[in-house]
Amino acid sequence: MAPQNDPAKDIARKLRVNPEWFLVGELDGRVVATCMAGHEGHRGWINYLAVSPAHRRRGLAKRIMAEAERLLRAAGCPKINLQIRSSNADVIAFYESIGFKTDDIVSLGKRLEADAGDGCSLSGGQ
C-alpha cells in the first residue's frame, strides 16, 4: 500500500500558507469538492483535488480547477505541476482532458515530518 498523508495535518499546513488558495466547493452547506493550489515562485502545484463520489461527473472538478488556474495565472505562475500515482488511470485521464500532459520526469520526495499512518519512520533508514 502506498503511503498516505494525514489530511487533517495537510489542511492545517495549507491554512498557514495562502489559505485563500484552499478551494472548497459547497452544495447545500456540504463540502462536495476541494482543491489546494500553491505557488513557490517558479511553478504552481495542485494537491487534493477531490469531488465527493455522489457529485462526480457534473463538472465540479473542471470548475474548481478553472478557479485554481485563474488564481495561479493572476499570481504570474507560468506552469502547473501535479503528481498522480501512475496506477490512477481515471485521474490521469481527467487531467489530460483539461490540457495536462505527462512530463518526462522522475518525481522524488523526502519526508521531513512523519504523518500518522504513512509508514514513515524518522528513526532508522527511511
What is the Cα Rg of the chain in Å?
16
SS3 26: strand
Query: Looking at domain 7-97, which CATH architecture does it have?
Result: 3-Layer(aba) Sandwich (3.40)
Is the pLDDT at 15 greater than 90, yes or no? yes
Higher pLDDT, 122 or 72: 72
Collect all residues with Cβ–Cβ distance below 8 Å to 45 and sequence separation of at least 6. Answer: 37, 38, 39, 80, 81, 82
What is the identity of the amino acid at 113?
E
Q: Which long-range contacts (CB under 8 A, 24 or more apart) does 100-109 make?
A: 107/83
- For the chain, the domains span 7-97
pLDDT digits (tens, 9 = 90+) for 33-54: 999 999 999 999 999 999 999 9
DSSP line for the chain: ------HHHHHHHHTTS-GGGEEEEEETTEEEEEEEEEE-SS-EEEEEEEE-GGGTTSSHHHHHHHHHHHHHHHTT---EEE---TT-HHHHHHHHHTT----S-------SSPPTTS---SSS--
pLDDT in the model for residue 113: 84
Is the pLDDT at 117 greater than 60, yes or no? no
